[in-house]
Chains A and B, each alone.
Chain A
Amino acid sequence: MTSMTPGTAEFLLAFADDEHLMGQQHTEWIGVAPFLEEDMAFASIAQDELSHAALLYAIVADNGQGSPPDDRAIDALAFDRSAADYRSAQIVEVACTGWAHALVRHWLYDTAEELRWSLVEDSGLEPLKDAAAHAAREERFHVRHADGLIDVLLQAPDSADRLADAVRDLLPLATGLFDPAPGEAEAIEAGIASAPFDTVLPEWTDRVRARFPDIDIGTISAPAFASRTQRHGDFPALLARMNRVRGLDPTAVW
């Protein structure tokens, strides 16, 4: 079994943190999504993302040995690190208080995520390869779900305007997903991933343009700053919400 270098662990943590925070953000729509069926569906999709995060944290926690998941070790990685140690992209940290923004982020993120898993589908790290197969089965439905809603909403002028605003607001942050995670080069060297994430940026960009053909989104390029080591201003409040209940009794078994 392949053992992991610290760089590979960092690389996987970046992926896990994105999945974790994206799942958390989606779950916060439970009870307030635009209609009951969507309320449930969005939270259900959120749980899928959280389960992907758990799979990735578990790999880091046991150094890729594939042993049964240790919930406490997963929680320690997911919740107990300091803000500076998270490796998430700012698109999953920013608060989206409107449904149009939440939906556009769902589409932008899942379209990128689908491509991201494809880069580890032949990973030399067996548990990661298994996780990629598991996630790929779910991601096609996530993207279809986001597409289905956007298809309907783009037909209504008012909704289309809101989506356009959301796309323009969120694109700069979304490109930060492709910002190389610390350790990425090491992970590729070790056969953990097949190529840098930003090699699929042009493919993602094509999909964005095809999805929103009427929106002038200008040039899409990778961000110039190291977004994964800088937390978004909305992050502290998000982390506090995530830990509010857990903090009542850190020793509780869930």
Chain B
Amino acid sequence: MRTYEIFLKRDGQEEYRHAGSIDAPDDELALLLARENYLRRAEGDLLWMVDRQHLLIGDRDFVAPNSDKPHRDNDGLLVAAHRKSQRESR
């Protein structure tokens, strides 16, 4: 058995969203089983499936360094405060 990840999208709405995963022996059965397991109540109009072994995965160690860089989160508050004090001192 292989494991497949399933993504569904409705026509005219939003993006593909992860719906779940299934085990299936091959691609053809994966498609058919996904149809009966995830689309039997018209949950989507379009289907993407990917064999999990074809996913490129960034693990925690790879992703983590980006969590400690507050200088990349500029919310503009300091600039706003500076401009306000400039205006009021005129």
Contact = CB atoms under 8 A, between A and B. Distances in A.
B47 interface: no
Given A35-B1, A40-B37, A145 B23 contact: no
A144 B22 CA distance: 18
B32 interface: yes
Given A35-B23, A37-B22, A149 B29 contact: yes
A152 B36 contact: no
Interface string B22-39: 111110110011011100
A148 B23 contact: no
Contacts of B28: 144, 148, 151
B32 A145 contact: yes
A37 B23 contact: yes
A38 interface: yes
A36 B32 CA distance: 14
Nearest to B22: A37
A44 B40 contact: yes
Contacts of B26: 148, 151-152
Interface residues of B, number: 14
Given A44-B40, A148-B28, A152-B25, A38 B33 contact: yes
Nearest to B33: A37
- Majority-rule SS of A interface residues: helix
A45 B23 CA distance: 18
Given A35-B1, A35-B23, A37-B24, A44 B29 contact: no
Contacts of A40: 33, 36-37
A45 B36 contact: yes
B25 A41 contact: no
A35 B40 CA distance: 18
Nearest to A41: B36
Nearest to B41: A44
A149 B35 CA distance: 15
Interface string B1-43: 1000000000000000000001111101100110111001000
B35 A141 contact: yes
B29 A152 contact: yes
Contacts of A141: 32, 35
A148 B32 contact: yes
Nearest to A152: B25
Contacts of B37: 37, 40-41, 44
Contacts of A37: 22-24, 33, 37
Contacts of A149: 29
A215 B25 CA distance: 24
A38 B24 CA distance: 9
A22 B32 CA distance: 20
A37 B23 CA distance: 7
Contacts of A36: 23
Nearest to A146: B32
Best-surrounded residue of B23, B26, B36 (most CB of chain A within 10 A): B36
5 contacts: A35-B23, A41-B36, A41-B37, A148-B29, A152-B29
Given A41-B36, A44-B37, A149-B29, 12 more contacts: A35-B23, A37-B23, A37-B33, A40-B37, A45-B36, A141-B32, A144-B28, A144-B32, A148-B28, A148-B29, A148-B32, A151-B26
